Amino acid sequence: MIDADNVYLSENKVSNRDKLLTLSTNLKVAIVGATGAVGKTLLELFDERNFDYGQIWLIASSRSAGQIIHHRGVNHQVYDLETFDFRGVDLVFSSAGTATSKNWGRRIAAQGPVVIDNTNAFRMEPDVGLIVPQVNSNQVLHKLKSRIIANPNCTTIPMVRALQPVHQEYSLNKLVISTYQAASGGGIAGLEQFTSGSQLVLDNPEAIPEAGRFQAPLPFNLIPRIDALLDSGFTLEEQKIAQESRKIMGLPKLNVTATAVRVPVMNCHSQAIYFECDSRLDYSRLTTILDDTGGIILYRGIGEAEGYPTPRGVSGSDHVHVGRVRIDPDNDRAGWMWVVSDNLRVGAALNAIQIAEDLIQSESSVLCASAY
């Protein structure tokens, strides 16, 4: 499979990838949440991308402390976050839930490392950058006094990556998003509850599976609520999509509204995006700019495989898959697209690694690695 970030790196960023790898050879890295769905995907991507480090520590809660995880020929013990000393660590990838990050993120950063945080804990904090390298990598060093960089929500990342080229050409002014989010967004427990619950219902159609990580049983169901329900009537997930896209794209007045739905799909989040622009859309130009954007695969045909991506077809891919691009027949400044991407990769671990690569490549002293 072509690696989306190789496209990104070779087209936009790195003129000498070997140099980047040499710089990172002495990097001391920790993963908080290493036993989780995002943590495991990070380790897979480290291998696939030859992300180099000198030393690595794998960290989780006391539940998993002492477990052994095999990576790159080495048996790594899992350490307990409560007792781990982060002094001397250069870079921490953190994906252990919002509450854990709120509790630990700033304390870890105060010990020296830069923390790339995958949770909702810091995304809208004014002193923390919210980075999608393909969109706002120029800001990766801007707010590093906090020593925390936030990774956006798993639907926001592919959304802004697909919309950034549209905005550059046509100036976005309004977005209406409907998401179709997979069980793996609920982590390892969510996936497990979905698969075992599905089997339960197949064996006995009268059985009622547990809701578990979700707000209702997910097998053979749709749940129009992800995360907390707010006083506004929107959910926290919907609010994240709106607030984060404005912050990343630097468009505080962008009109964004969303409905986020959990769907009975194993992996990969999909979204239907309606966008309105300041200027008239031209279909040929619109599809050309999407096609020319690194890391995006555009489906131009009308049949399945050519016409639109599906979650099953996209799982394991590092690209943002875009299909069903249409211009609204009643408004030629508005259009639709269907976007599917692997939430564990594009929506989480890949983006975090790309941020790290930007930091390493920046050759500034933000990472206190002995490599510098």
Ligand X SMILES: NC(=O)c1ccc[n+]([C@@H]2O[C@H](COP(=O)([O-])OP(=O)(O)OC[C@H]3O[C@@H](n4cnc5c(N)ncnc54)[C@H](OP(=O)(O)O)[C@@H]3O)[C@@H](O)[C@H]2O)c1
Q: Interface with ligand X by CB under 6 A: which residues?
A: 33-39, 60-61, 63-64, 81, 95-98, 100, 118-119, 154, 184-185, 187-189, 343-344, 347-348
Q: Residue 104: enclosing H or E segment and its boundaries? A: helix 98-110
269 is catalytic: yes
The beta strand positions in the chain, using DSSP E, are 28-32, 55-60, 68-71, 74-80, 91-94, 114-117, 129-130, 148-150, 172-181, 255-262, 269-277, 296-298, 320-327, 334-341
Decide whether 33 or 217 has the Cβ nearer to ligand X.
Answer: 33
Out of 70, 71, 142, 269, the active site residue is: 269
CB of 116 to ligand X, least distance (A): 11
368 is catalytic: no
Decide whether 30 or 334 has the Cβ nearer to ligand X.
Answer: 30
Q: How far apart are CA 146 and CA 106, in angstroms?
A: 8
Instruction: Tell me the CA end-to-end span of the chain in Å, nearest whole number.
Output: 33
Q: How far apart are CA 364 and CA 115, in angstroms?
A: 16
CB of 124 to ligand X, least distance (A): 15
Query: Token digits for 69?
Result: 């995880």
CB of 369 to ligand X, least distance (A): 24
Decide whether 322 or 352 has the Cβ nearer to ligand X.
Answer: 352
Q: How far apart are CA 199 and CA 209, in angstroms?
A: 9
Out of 154, 268, 277, 319, the active site residue is: 154
CB of 54 to ligand X, least distance (A): 23
Decide whether 209 or 347 has the Cβ nearer to ligand X.
Answer: 347
Decide whether 166 or 218 has the Cβ nearer to ligand X.
Answer: 218
- 273 Ramachandran zone, left/alpha/beta (phi>0; psi -120 to 50): beta
Report the residue closest to ligand X, judged by CB.
Answer: 36
**Residues with Cβ within 8 Å of residue 310, at least 6 apart in sequence:** 270, 304, 340
Question: Residue 349's closest CA among 102, 14, 51?
Answer: 51
Q: Kindly state the DSSP code that residue 70 receives in the 8-state scheme.
A: E
CB of 354 to ligand X, least distance (A): 14
Decide whether 164 or 343 has the Cβ nearer to ligand X.
Answer: 343
User: Which residues share a beta bridge with 323?
Assistant: 338
CB of 39 to ligand X, least distance (A): 5
Q: Kindly state the DSSP code that residue 314 receives in the 8-state scheme.
A: H
CB of 318 to ligand X, least distance (A): 14
CB of 169 to ligand X, least distance (A): 29
User: Which residues share a beta bridge with 71?
Assistant: 74
Q: How far apart are CA 276 and CA 109, in angstroms?
A: 40
Q: How far apart are CA 156 and CA 162, in angstroms?
A: 10
Q: How far apart are CA 300 and CA 262, in angstroms?
A: 27
Rg (CA), the chain: 20
The DSSP line for 318-363 is: -SEEEEEEEE-TT-TTEEEEEEEE-TTIIIIIHHHHHHHHHHHHHT
Decide whether 94 or 146 has the Cβ nearer to ligand X.
Answer: 94
Catalytic positions are 154, 269
